Structure 1
């Protein structure tokens, strides 16, 4: 099958990571795959190209870029694309416009909704997305909560909606004493320190400030605790200023964007995800695959990965005291950390591998091409 994935960009992020891994797996099993990025981007482009997957860049200028739409349409025609797979709202609108009216070799358009749709509070985007869905053969949701929201609110008819859990290349992940020791040495973490870590863009919805704000009280109870945040974003300076204002010094560090995230997180004692909203978090899947004890907020798709008391601990969103208590509970109980981490690792390997993801999308494609 000739497949074209359409994304906003290929900068480092959960959506971009899952599209990259899916495209590479699809090529491995025999599909002809290309990726079209609306915006100028670097990020994961090199990884795709190294796997032999062409990446086309639209260099998007403004909200109505006719040059981009012509390039996307020409790409579909010249590559004889059979199926266009868009990822989230703006790419789906562009893909629908670019393929609208094609009479010869018209491809099937499908889409994946990767989050709970907070951007759809914008009325114009909401209208454009609803229009594009009229030209979309099927929509995959990355979790049950996402599915229930978009079907329940009338965006997507139930007959065209399916749930396809995100997947990761689980073979890249795994805990060992040697990997843990190397990771902690790289991050400058002492053997007796207890490390809490988070991975994600430094943006409001990820709510890293809540995590930072719990550290003074947490350190009073457990002086060996340390916190690292991996990721970049517009809140970097604000979060660093908060760390300085609380006098946390080197007990809380921002590590920035890293290419070796999987190698670093294996050095965590606790993985924390304090987000206000999530689809089905790739960072959370990777933490589970790296055999980490997890505390996460009970939002979006998080409860589909973290079953409270079984594969991790869940806390309410924006509840600092519950977050601190859960982190302290894990830091104080090594046997609990081991038990939860082992269960999380087993779950992700059974339910959320990239091979499972590719098989699910194959079935979805064939059903929608009908």
Structure 2
């Protein structure tokens, strides 16, 4: 048996973001005797050590914000010259993938994949203009287009969106299955009273996640449920700002900042409701995880309808209607519904089982390198109508 096919994934870092969590889910479940993942990053990440244990390599070049445009492009060029062995480069940098794929093309990489995980760029006006410029290169230099949703494909690929391959943001369903025993244990560890109402959120502290709005909602909700606790899981550049705002709003005794956690599947068991008022998203992995744990989810109506697994758990609400958010939170209190621990089959039917997603991706990689016939990837290809 020969060596596995090595695929180079390009990301800023391998921390616990949505795209990075998906990548690790795929990596853990793919047949690593046939496919190995390596990573080109710009910063250290919490998954680096696990990647090395799984047989992957982690390379690092400085990011554009550290060294500027010219030196970043030079670093990309030099990397591909130094490591010419890659047949497949799979870039997860949104519009910045344009620069990555252009460098890969010049180096003779035959398969250059652009992957869309979102529907909008972060940053101010200047940053978005710069990213737009980088993004104009994607249709020219990508050989293949992968996306989590139709909206994300149209945003990043434009006219090329018709040729998109849709890869679902799969999760390990068994890990998230609701367990009353785990709920009791985690709530005990968090020093929560038995009947204390716990509002939860999992997400990076960055502009799209809309943490300021989340604090405002919770402040209003406390007038109905004074003992409620808001549990915020994640890290990111806006964490200090949100902590300051929580103090200014006199919310500190009702909020727990838990930072980046490796036990999200257990923490979700302790929540009573999951709030997700994002300004924009692709298909958030955290919302799939929340539904897999049987958790009611109140989300902004800017998030794609594809995220609703049809379990009766997702309620989309406009960000302009705070009153309705509060009413829905009160509904969750009043319903006292038992958490459903048998949702796996329905989520799997929607295509979000990581075993299926990793199998599809493995066949896709084999196909684009000519190792198997195209008909073996039935289920991977789904062109936008």
5+ long unaligned stretches in structure 1: none
Query: CA offsets, 1:244-290, max 9 Å, x none?
Result: 33333422222222232222221111111111111010111221222
TM-score (norm. length: structure 2): 0.84
Residues 1:364 and 1:102: Cα distance change in structure 2 (over 3 Å): same
Q: 81, 103, 112: which is aligned to 1:74?
A: 81
Q: What residue number does 1:44 align with? A: 47
Answer whether contact 1:270 1:327 (CA < 8 A) is retained: yes
Is this contact kept in 2: 1:166–1:357, CA < 8 A? yes
Shift of 1:196: 0.8
Which shows bigger deviation, 54-63 or 41-50?
54-63
Do 1:13 and 1:200's aligned partners in 2 also have CA atoms closer than 8 Å? Answer: yes
1:95 corresponds to 2:100: yes
Do 1:210 and 1:320's aligned partners in 2 also have CA atoms closer than 8 Å? no
Cα RMSD for the two superposed structures: 2.5
Q: 1:255 to 1:364 in 2, by over 3 A?
A: same
Tell me the SS of whatever aligns to 1:328: helix
Query: Offset at 1:354?
Result: 1.7
Give yes or no for contact 1:147–1:162 (8 Å, CA) kept in 2: no
Task: Give 3-state SS (helix, strand or coil) of 2:141's partner.
Answer: coil
Contact 1:305 1:311 in 2 (8 A): no
How far, CA to CA, are the matches of 1:243 and 1:165 in structure 2? 35
Mapped pair 1:17 → 2:24: no
Aligned partner (choices 162, 184, 196) of residue 165 of structure 2: 162
Q: Following TM superposition, by how much is the alpha carbon of 1:229 offset from its aligned partner in structure 2, in angstroms?
A: 0.9
* Cα distance in 2 for residues equivalent to 1:358 and 1:244: 43
Q: Distance in 2 between matches of 1:139 and 1:173?
A: 30
For the residues of structure 2 that align with 1:42 and 1:146, how far apart are their CA atoms? 25
CA contact (8 A) 1:4 1:35 kept: yes
- C-alpha distance in structure 2 between counterparts of 1:159 and 1:293, whole Å: 34
Whether the 8 Å CA contact 2:154–2:161 is kept in 1: the answer is no
Normalised by the size of structure 1, how large is the TM-score? 0.87
Q: Does 1:234 align with 2:237?
A: yes
- Matched-pair contact (CA < 8 Å) for 1:296–1:306: no
- Partner secondary structure for residue 323 of structure 2: helix
Q: Aligned equivalents of 1:5 and 1:200: distance in 2?
A: 22
1:35 aligned to 2:39?
yes
1:192–1:224 contact (8 Å) kept in structure 2: no
Q: Which of 136, 155, 172 lines up with 2:142 in the alignment?
A: 136
Contact between 2:114 and 2:138, CA under 8 Å: does it hold in 1?
no
Cα separation, partners in 2 of 1:32 and 1:149, compared to 1, 3 Å: closer
Specify whether residues 2 and 91 from structure 1 end up closer, same or farther in structure 2 by C-alpha distance, changes over 3 A only.
Answer: farther
1:298 to 301, 305, 328: 301
The 3-state SS of whatever aligns with 1:118 is: coil
> Contact 1:45–1:55 at 8 Å: present in 2 too?
yes
CA 238–69 in structure 1, closer or farther in 2 if over 3 Å, else same: closer
Is 1:84 equivalent to 2:86 in the alignment? no
Q: Which runs of 5+ in 2 are unaligned?
A: 371-385
- Deviation, structure 1 residue 195: 0.7
Of the structure 1 ranges 261-270 and 17-26, higher mean CA displacement relative to structure 2 is found in 17-26
Q: What does residue 152 of structure 2 align with?
A: 146
Does the alignment pair 1:338 with 2:339? yes
Task: List per-residue Cα deviations over 1:128-151 (Å, max 9, x = no partner).
Answer: 221232011121111122234445
